[in-house]
Structure 1
Amino acid sequence: MARFSQRAINNMVIFAMLIMIALFNFDSLLPRPSTPPMLSLIPADAHILKIDFPTYSIERVASTFVYKNGDKQNVAPEKRAAAWQIAEVQPSTTNNVVSALPYIVTVWLAGQPQGHVFAFYRLASGEVIVEYQKAWYSIDSNTAQLLVGEME
């Protein structure tokens, strides 16, 4: 049986720790995906009570949703409310939308005293940007169409 000096044992412990540190941090050496993560507009488990649009609103009545104060829309209110539950956005670097007018939508959730205010901007390029709590997000045009309909 080989006998190791105290210095040799210390060196083995040091090298073992360095190898463990390298193994635990190995994932930081791998390339990151180029697409930013998708974020939900509202929490998936949130209970929507009302969605206020500039010219109409959608309100929960018992277990269904109905349109209030506006013209008949081409999307069923249940479908529009469900779209808000599952809508996802990506963080955007675009925040220069000075020339575009916002389309403001307020979503009221159960158990929260303040509504969540979203400002939708359609840029000249056709891209739709959402401002929420001073952060900018990019959203698919088809999803935006389902969420808010025609933005005026």
Structure 2
Amino acid sequence: MGKLSQRAWNNVIIVSMLILIMLFNFSGNFLNSGSDETSTTRNLVPSDKIITTMVFEQLKVERIGQGWRAISGERTIKYTNEMLANLIENWVNAEISLIEQHNSWHSPSAAVELWFAGQALPTEYQFKQHQDQTLVKINQQTYQLISPSYQSLTPQE
């Protein structure tokens, strides 16, 4: 085998590093692809999203620095920062499960808009009570709310 110059060895090392990076990238996708298929539940709010504003029918909850504030158009209800933080925590920890398209979804019983950091438009969550379950429609997909209850996701007076 012939001798390689310093420049040739550098090229060999660079190419081998690129091959290793591609190998690690593809093996990570391959090893993690099965875990998504077995999981039937997911979070109501994606884990990579940060809520900045929530708009309910008669209440708006906004992030102010490290805390939260509530703005109501008609009546004044005092919400503590702790109450609002618990509400946000309930949304972040809520679990939903994808279900088949529901035929009787004509008008939602409640709608909530969530604004996420870095997004120009809000995401609308439509809720509907159907028999003994709560249905959630997000981006034309229908889910069943598993936990917590719908009342935990609304501001309590």
The TM-score bracket by the shorter chain reads 0.5 to 0.7
- Alignment partner of 1:43 out of 46, 61, 68: 46
**TM-score (ref. length: structure 1):** 0.65
Greater CA deviation, 125-134 or 66-75?
66-75
Distance 2:79 2:103 in 1: 31
The aligned runs of 1:36-115 (5 Å cut-off) are 37-69=40-72, 71-72=77-78, 76-93=83-100, 95-98=102-105, 101-115=108-122
Distance 2:87 2:104 in 1: 26
Larger Rg: 1
Contact 1:121 1:129 (8 Å CA) reproduced: yes
Distance 2:104 2:155 in 1: 20
Distance 2:51 2:105 in 1: 31
Within the alignment, does 1:117 sit opposite 2:124 as a pair?
yes
Q: Of Structure 1 and Structure 2, which has the larger fraction of its residues in helix?
A: 2
Contact 1:58 1:67 (8 Å CA) reproduced: yes
Contact 2:41 2:95 (8 Å CA) reproduced: yes
The count of corresponding residues between Structure 1 and Structure 2 is 116
Post-superposition Cα deviations, 1:27-56, rounded to whole Å, max 9, x if no partner, equal xxxxx97xx611122222322110000110
User: Alignment partner of 1:140: what SS?
Assistant: strand
Cα deviation for residue 73 of structure 1 reads 5.9
Distance 1:89 1:96 in 2: 19
Structure 2: state its 5+ residue gaps. 1-36
**TM-score (ref. length: structure 2):** 0.63
Cα deviation for residue 142 of structure 1 reads 3.7
Structure 1: state its 5+ residue gaps. 1-31
Distance 2:95 2:48 in 1: 14
Contact 1:58 1:68 (8 Å CA) reproduced: yes
